[in-house]
């Protein structure tokens, strides 16, 4: 299939048309973004430096902090730059990249949280068997599997959306590129694509349950 889109860029929703409020939005989100960035980087640094924290629980926590940094970096910086430059534009490929990486990091974070929940369950309910069940090899496999499955899952969603034709309005009713808003902008029949989104979401939920059961 070839994308027959005539849309080369999208317009994201802005917080305000007033320049002063846009600058205020930039400053507020800059402070929040830097706080989140510094907080997660401090966690990663502390775990890396202190050898007492080189345990499996903190291994998961370090990966989660890294995912948090990646996830917020997908949408927040773009929104801040748009506010500072008084624009709402995002390119077609920029929107596709934002959707892909947003889904990738979100799904990876969910799978990692599932693994962390199981890790704490074993530590509390089966403390004597913890070292046997939760091994370093198993944790490494979970982390790698989380990244690989997230990339594949996100690629399926992104391809499903951007194989559609966009030849009408290019105004995204959201501060970032998201599946429901992009489906509304397509000038083609999106019934099959909506079914694919539901099926992929259901498969993602089943995958998480299977991951927890197999662990």
CA gyration radius, the chain: 20
**pLDDT at position 45:** 93
Tell me, yes or no, whether 133 lies in a domain.
yes
Tell me, yes or no, whether 199 lies in a domain.
yes
Parent domain of 14: 10-214
Phi, psi of 95 (to 5 degrees): -65, -45
Tell me, yes or no, whether 4 lies in a domain.
no
Tell me, yes or no, whether 202 lies in a domain.
yes
CA atoms within 13 A on the CB side of 11: 8
Into how many domains does the chain fold?
A: 1
Q: What is the CATH number of the domain that holds 51?
A: 1.20.1070.10
Separation between Cα atoms, residue 111 and residue 121, nearest integer Å: 15
Per-residue pLDDT tens, the chain, 215 aa: give them. 444 446 778 888 877 777 778 888 889 889 999 999 999 999 999 999 988 888 878 888 898 999 999 999 998 888 888 888 878 888 889 899 999 999 999 999 988 888 888 888 888 888 888 788 778 887 888 888 888 889 998 999 999 888 888 877 788 888 888 888 888 888 877 888 888 888 888 877 776 666 555 55
Tell me, yes or no, whether 2 lies in a domain.
no
Tell me, yes or no, whether 5 lies in a domain.
no
Tell me, yes or no, whether 187 lies in a domain.
yes
How buried is residue 119: exposed, middle or buried, by Cβ count under 10 Å (0-12/13-18/19+)?
buried
How buried is residue 196: exposed, middle or buried, by Cβ count under 10 Å (0-12/13-18/19+)?
middle
Q: What is the SS3 assignment for 9?
A: strand
Tell me, yes or no, whether 1 lies in a domain.
no
């Amino acid at each position: 299939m070839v994308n027959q889109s005539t849309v080369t860029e999208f317009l994201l929703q802005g917080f305000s048309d007033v320049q002063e409020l846009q600058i205020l939005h930039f400053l507020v989100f800059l402070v929040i973004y830097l706080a989140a960035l510094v907080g997660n980087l401090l966690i990663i640094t502390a775990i890396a430096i202190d050898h007492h924290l080189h345990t499996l629980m903190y291994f998961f926590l370090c990966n989660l902090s890294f995912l948090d940094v990646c996830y917020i970096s997908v949408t927040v910086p773009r929104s801040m730059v748009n506010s500072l430059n008084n624009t709402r534009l995002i390119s077609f490929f920029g929107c596709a990249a934002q959707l892909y990486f947003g889904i990738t990091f979100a799904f990876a974070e969910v799978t990692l949280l599932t693994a962390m929940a199981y890790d704490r369950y074993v530590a509390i309910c089966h403390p004597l068997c913890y070292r046997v069940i939760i091994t370093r090899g198993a944790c490494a496999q979970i982390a790698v599997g989380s990244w690989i499955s997230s990339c594949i899952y996100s690629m399926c969603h992104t391809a499903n959306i951007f194989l559609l034709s966009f030849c009408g309005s290019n105004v995204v009713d959201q501060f970032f590129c998201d599946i429901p808003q992009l489906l509304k902008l397509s000038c083609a029949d999106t019934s099959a694509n909506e079914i694919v989104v539901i099926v992929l979401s259901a498969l993602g939920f089943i995958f998480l349950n299977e991951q927890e059961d197999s662990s």
